[in-house]
Amino acid sequence: MAVRTIRKEKDPCLYIKCREVKKFDERLSILIDDMIETMHAADGVGLAAPQVGVLKRVVVIDIGDGPIEMVNPVIMESSGEQGGMEGCLSFPGQSGYVIRPNYVKVEAYDRHGDLYEYEGEELFARAVFHECDHLDGKVYLRLVTDPPESAEE
Ligand code: NI
């Protein structure tokens, strides 16, 4: 396993739609292991393959319950709404208020080509939407809005 360089800011890899994975081979397995190590080393809760310069539909997520790998993820259902601060390992030192669905159900393959379904709320849902956006060349900054004003202001 190896920590890979995270692409940042204006790197073109962050703005390109990624290809589906067709081969579930050793190369994919190494990519996933490296992505998990890179995510953990950077203290992130998610990482998408284009962030390490690989334009394939692969994401890893770890919200504290251990890493989950998602190859060719497809969002099957979403509902509700949550607002909260969001950041991205490709835009260090920045964050912004983003509204996302509160619930997600997603289907994805693992490195062996077995299909799994995951569902979750709050941070998990936020991470899934954020990382899946990366696979379509979209970064969270386009979704940043003003936070709702608190009663004190
Ligand atoms: Ni990101």
With residue 34 as reference, give the H or E element that holds it.
helix 26-41
For the segment 77-124, what is each residue's pLDDT rounded down to a tens digit?
999 999 999 999 999 999 999 999 999 999 999 999 999 999 999 999
For the segment 41-65, what is each residue's pLDDT rounded down to a tens digit?
999 999 999 999 999 999 999 999 9
Quick one: 12-152 is in which CATH superfamily?
Peptide deformylase (3.90.45.10)
| Neighbour tally for 111: CB within 10 Å | 18
Active site residue 131: yes
For residue 47, report the distance from its CA to the centre of ligand 1, in Å.
Answer: 6
pLDDT: is 68 or 1 the higher one? 68
Of 69, 117, 119, 131, the catalytic one is: 131
Mean per-residue pLDDT for 22-27? 98
**Burial letters 28-65, b for 16+ CB under 10 A, else e:** beebbbbbbbbbeeeebbbbbbbbbebebbbbbbbbee
| Neighbour tally for 110: CB within 10 Å | 16
For residue 142, report the distance from its CA to the centre of ligand 1, in Å.
Answer: 12
The one-letter code for the residue type at 82 is Q
What is the rounded average pLDDT for all residues in the chain? 96
For residue 98, report the distance from its CA to the centre of ligand 1, in Å.
Answer: 13
Domain ranges of the chain: 12-152
Q: pTM of the full predicted structure?
A: 0.95
